[in-house]
Structure 1
Amino acid sequence: MKTLEIKRFTVGTVIKSTLYLLFIPIIIMIIVGLITTMVLMIEDGAVALMGIFIMLLASLFYAGVYLGMIALMTVIYNWLAGKFGGLTIIVQEKDEIVAKEQI
């Protein structure tokens, strides 16, 4: 078994992997926004058109703030991991697993 310590994350890769997780809440926001737009369209068409723009802006604002916070947390982690140490991971190679199963 090997013990590895993660000292640094690349901000770009953290943001890219966060986008995968951020995709689900944004889709939910868009679906709720479309349902709300349909309801508003029945009552007043002009308000519904503004609702579409507000929904899109809210989704972009949410994504921007969330990605900004993740980037800031990554920079802070990199700084603190350099001073105090990072996450420790224990890795076991497949050959070791197979050897233990045969015993």
Structure 2
Amino acid sequence: MKTIEIKRFSVGSVVKSTLYLLFIPIIGMIIFGLFSSLLLFTEDGVIAFTGILFMLLLSVLYAAIYFGILALMTVIYNWLAGKFGGLTMVIEEKE
């Protein structure tokens, strides 16, 4: 068995891999928001248009805040792993 220690993560790769995982939920939020806004559109056009803009703005804001916090957590991990040690993984080679 081989033991390795992860001392550093690239902020870009962490954000990119998380984007792949969050792509489907973000698309789901946008579809749900558009569908619910279309239901309101039959009642009052101004409310529905405002709802669509608000939903799109909140989706972008949610993603920006999430990725900002994720980047900050990655930087903090890299700093602490350099001082105290990183994650340790045990890898077993099989034939």
> Which range, TM-score by smaller chain?
over 0.9
SS at match of 2:8: coil
Q: Which runs of 5+ in 1 are unaligned?
A: 96-103
Percent identity (aligned):
66
- What amino acid is the match of 1:51? G
Q: TM-score, normalised by structure 1?
A: 0.87
Secondary structure of the structure 1 residue equivalent to 2:42: helix
* Residue identity opposite 2:5 in structure 1: E
Query: Looking at CA atoms only, which structure, 1 or 2, has the larger radius of gyration?
Result: 1
Q: Which has the higher helix share?
A: 1
1:89 partner SS: strand
Which portions of structure 1, spanning 4 or more consecutive aligned residues, are displaced by more than 3 angstroms? none
Tell me what 2:94 maps to: 94
- Tell me the matched-pair count: 95
Match of 1:79 in 2: 79
What TM-score do you get using the length of structure 2 for normalisation?
Answer: 0.94
Gaps of 5+ in 2: none
